[in-house]
Structure 1
Amino acid sequence: MRQALVVRGGWEGHSPTQATELFIPFLEASGYAVRIEDSPEVYAKGEDLDVDLIVQCYTMGKASHEAVMGLRAAVAAGIGLTGWHGGIADSFRESSDYLHLVGGQFATHPGKHPDEVHGDQSDYYLPHTIDVLPEAADHPIVAGLESFELTTEQYWVLTDSLCDVLATTTHPAPDWHPWHRAVTCPAVWTRHWGAGRIAVVTPGHSVDVLQHPTVRTLVERSMLWVSR
C-alpha cells in the first residue's frame, strides 16, 4: 500500500479540513494509506518521511527553515508534492526557498468594479476561463479535458520557465485596475525537482469549486501523477 501525507492548516478561509476531506476517499480507493498532519514541521524529516505523496493545503502560515529544506529534500528524493489554490501557491510567504521549489506564487486575484464590491470574498468572484493548452493535451493530468469556465477567484501568479504549463487563465485589463493589457498566467503546471514531481492546480478557493467536475479531476490526476 502506498503512503500519502496530507498537510493541512493555515488560513481557514480556504477550508483546509473540509477541502482535504473531499479527496481522502479517492486516495484510499486508489490504494493509499492516508496520514494527516496539521503542521508543516513534519517536513523537517526530509526524505525520511517515508511517504509516496504529499498533498498540501496550507495557505499562508509559516514553516521553519528546517521544514522547508526538508520538503525540498523529500521531493528531490522522489516524493510527489501537489495541492490547489492558496494551499500550495500561497504558502509560507516568508520563504523564498519554498517559492523556488513550487515555482509559482500567488500575487493577487483581481476584483469587481468598485461599484459592485461588498467587502467580502465575493468581491473577487469573477467569471473566467481556464484554457487547457493544445500542446499539453496528451499530458496525463489534462488528457481529454477541455477548457472550462468558472466564477470564483482567478489567481494571478508569478512564476518561472522551469514550470511546464498545462493550462492558463487570462486576466483582462478593465479601466479600474492599473495594468494596461491582458495578462496570461499559468493555472495548472507541473515541475520536476530532482527525482520528484510537483503539480499545482490554482482553482480551488472553496469546496464547491473543488467539486466542479473538471477541477476535481485535475486535482485527483495530479495526486496520481506526482506520486512516487
Structure 2
Amino acid sequence: MKQALIVQGGWDGHQPKEVSEILAGLLREEGFEVEISDTLDAFLDVDKLKALDLIVPVWTMGSITKEQLNPLLEAVRSGVGIAGCHGGLGDSFRNETEFQYMVGGQWVAHPGNDGVHYKVCIKDKNNPLMAGLDDFDVVSEQYYMHVDPANQVLAVTYFGETEMPVVWTKQYGEGRVFYCSLGHQANIVAMPEVLTIMRRGMVWASERAGRPEGGR
C-alpha cells in the first residue's frame, strides 16, 4: 500500500482542513494509506519522509524552520513525490526560495480577488493527466504567478493576451512535482474537473522511477 502524508495549516481562509479531507479521500480511493498532520514538525524525520510515496502540503503562507524544511527538500530530491494546489503549495513559506524552486512557481497576485469568472484551457491534451478533459470555466481567484520556464505546462489561463500556467509538472532531483493553482476553497477543489486533475496529479507524483505510472 502506498503511503501519503498531508500536512495542513497556515492561513485558514483557504480551508486547509476541508481541502485536506477531499484530497485524502481521493488518495484513499486510489489505495493509499494517508496520514494527516497539522504540524510542520511532521517534516522533521527525514527517514520517515523518505519512506513515503507522496507528500501533499496544504499550508498557505506561514513560516518554516530550516530543521523542518531541509528534510522535506531532501526527501523530494531522493524521489518522494510532492503535489498540491492553490496557495497550499504555491504560496507557502514566502521567504523560502528553495521551496519555491522545488514547486516551480510562486503566487504573485490574483487581480479581481475572489469571484473572477475565467476559463482554464487544456494546453497538452496528449498528456495522460489531461486525457478527456475539455476547457472549463471557474469562478474563483485567478492566480498570477512567477513560474519556472522548465515546467511542463498542462493547462493555462489568460490575463488579456498573457498566458499563465495553471497546472504543471516538473522534477526536483529524483522527485516528481505536481501543481494546480485552482483550489481557493473546498468548493473549487470539489469541482469535477479539479478532482480529476488532482487525483491524476497526485498519483503521478507518487510514482518513482521504475514503477508503472498510475492514475485514471
TM-score (norm 1): 0.86
Q: Which runs of 5+ in 1 are unaligned?
A: 112-122, 173-181
Which deviates more from structure 2 when the two are superposed, residues 17-26 or residues 77-86?
Answer: 17-26
Q: Which runs of 5+ in 2 are unaligned?
A: 208-216
Aligned to 2:119: 129
Shift of 1:150: 0.6
Which deviates more from structure 2 when the two are superposed, residues 73-82 or residues 42-51?
Answer: 42-51
Aligned to 1:8: 8
Question: Letter of the aligned partner of 2:180 in structure 1?
Answer: V
Aligned to 1:206: 185
Q: Looking at CA atoms only, which structure, 1 or 2, has the larger radius of gyration?
A: 1
CA distance in 1 between partners of 2:168 and 2:67 (Å)? 26
Aligned to 1:23: 23
CA contact (8 A) 1:85 1:204 kept: yes
Question: Letter of the aligned partner of 1:124 in structure 2?
Answer: D
Question: Letter of the aligned partner of 1:24 in structure 2?
Answer: A
Correspondence 1:44 to 2:44: yes
Correspondence 1:102 to 2:103: yes
Aligned to 2:60: 59
CA distance in 2 between partners of 1:22 and 1:225 (Å)? 18
Q: CA RMSD in A?
A: 1.3
Aligned to 2:130: 142
1:20-40 deviation digits (Å, cap 9, x = unpaired): 111222212211111111122
Q: How many residues align?
A: 206
1:178-224 deviation digits (Å, cap 9, x = unpaired): xxxx3221100001112110000001001111111101111111110
Shift of 1:7: 0.6
Which deviates more from structure 2 when the two are superposed, residues 18-27 or residues 49-58?
Answer: 18-27
CA distance in 2 between partners of 1:75 and 1:19 (Å)? 22
Aligned to 2:152: 164
Question: Letter of the aligned partner of 2:120 in structure 1?
Answer: I
CA contact (8 A) 2:7 2:40 kept: yes
CA distance in 1 between partners of 2:111 and 2:144 (Å)? 8
Shift of 1:124: 2.8
Structure 1 residues 43, 162: CA separation in 2 closer, same or farther (over 3 Å shift)? farther
Shift of 1:43: 2.0
